A = this chain, B = another copy of it.
Amino acid sequence: VSTQSRRERLRAEAFEEIKAITLRLLAEHGPGAISLRAIAREMGMTAGGLYGYYATRDDLITALIGELYTSLAERLEAALGSLPGGDLGERIVLWAEALRAWAIANPEGFQLIYGAPVAGYQPPPEGAAPEAERRMCAVLASLVAGAWPYVRESQPGAYDWADLDPRLAEQVRASTPDLPPTAVALALRIWGRVHGLLSLEINGHLGRQVRDPSRLYRTELHDLLRFLGLTPSQASA
């Protein structure tokens, strides 16, 4: 027995349909194809009718970006959840491969989150996106935490908590109390490493140079584990 009225249910379903259609348009025809008129056309209704759901085009895009972040976060959590107590190297590889799988499956979504924004789009000053990003950084930091004692420090001078965004620092200290800021900086650099290969591949720059970008990615992960003091055998075991 739902507490929703029939009207509320229909309205919620319409919201879902709008989001689904927007994602489909994004995937099929790129960010340029996202317009209120196109969405309305696809839904079989009038452009003006959409204003009953979103006050503005930018609001719709903001909601879409939130949806994408949620989808990505769920994918990553599901991957890590499938091996909760497993070997640390395996977990890092799992995380990275899940990130890649999501990016390959949603290239336009990846661009929308990490690349240049839709033309003319003005994001809200403090939306959900930065928060989602910090959360994902914190997850990565907690992965790094396990390896941190074995990483041979090399950088000239450690990082300070003041070098990090206060809210990220807070989030990390809450989930991984003993991790020093230098390790968080390392987590950000690891993010950069996976992001770099992914971004090049998604934008078609890697595929032109190499036959199998996924292999290059795996090789990079292999070296990453070594760098983290995790033996390859630990990872492939």
Q: What residues on B are CB-neighbors of A205 within 8 Å?
A: 114, 133
Interface of A is mostly: helix
Which residues on B sit within 8 Å (CB–CB) of A194? 196
**Pair B210/A115 contact, Cβ less than 8 Å:** no
Bin the interface of chain A by size: 35 or more
Of the listed stretches A51-59, A91-99, A218-226, name the one at the interface; the rest are far from the partner chain: A218-226
Q: Name the distance in Å between A95's Cβ and chain B's nearest Cβ.
A: 16
Interface residues of A in 206-231 (CB under 8 A from B): 206, 208-212, 215-216, 219-220, 222-223, 226-227
**Docked pose: A188 CA to B197 CA in angstroms:** 9
- 18 sample A-B contacts, Cβ–Cβ < 8 Å, listed by A number: A31-B116, A31-B119, A32-B120, A114-B205, A115-B199, A116-B116, A133-B205, A133-B208, A154-B232, A155-B219, A156-B232, A156-B236, A163-B215, A164-B211, A165-B209, A191-B196, A193-B193, A227-B227
Knowing that A32-B120, A155-B219, A185-B219 touch, tell me 8 more A-B residue pairs with CB under 8 angstroms. A115-B199, A134-B209, A154-B222, A155-B222, A188-B206, A192-B193, A192-B196, A195-B196
